[in-house]
Structure 1
Amino acid sequence: MKGIGFAFFALGVLCALIGMAWGIQMSATANHALSPAHAHLNLIGWVTMALMGAYYTLTPAAASTRLAKIHLALTTAGVIIIVPGIVMALTQQGETAAKIGSVLTIAGMICFGVNVLRHGLGAKTAP
């Protein structure tokens, strides 16, 4: 069954592919002005989401919670909003989206932290 761990991994891979293509585009044009947004896409979108997917795959009790679903929603929304928000901030179009994305991203990490503290790590059975 494809659960929350798979969802985190799949979204992470999507972010990695977009980030790689963006990196190639920056290299080809020799324009690295948006590299902070590119870095956030890769670190939050790929690395962090893949690690979260691994955790939920290894800890099914945590994956089966409502909090895990909220976590996925917050983290996904955070990445979707923070990356263009950083682009907007870098191009002097305002910082509001970057701020909203940052709050959503940290809220997602708080959810993750609570789940880790509640469930630990390991293949315990879901309640």
Structure 2
Amino acid sequence: MSKISGTALIAIGLLHSLLALLMPGIFGFSDIWQDIAAAGVVDAASPESLRIWGYYWLLMPGFLLIPFGLLCYWIEHQLDLPLPSFVGWGLLAIALFGIVLDIDTGFWLVLVVAINAIVASRLKQKIV
């Protein structure tokens, strides 16, 4: 296991965000930008507009994963440490929950990162 968790999380976040922004139709959100414009953009993501609200929650995880991945990258490369085990376990819990709710999901990628983070953390503990 290596120091790839941060890089992988950044890549997943970028892929998720770019696909959601450039090809929303692959997620079932064709013409979503017209819906957002028709709703007036500001406060368009509301319970009254579940389609826009769903798209909003499609975008946000990808955007949030990028800075989290950058932090993980910094820990792995600048501090030369593995991620704390709680990061791996937290990612594992999130990934499993996402997979259980939707088996055909990108959370499988997060599952791989979680396992890598857990194993890397345990290997570092055994070496020290």
Structure-2-length-normalised TM-score: 0.47
TM-score, structure 1 normalization: 0.47
- Structure with bigger helix share is 1
Which one scores higher on RCO, CA 8 angstroms, separation ≥ 6? 2
Bigger Rg over Cα = 2
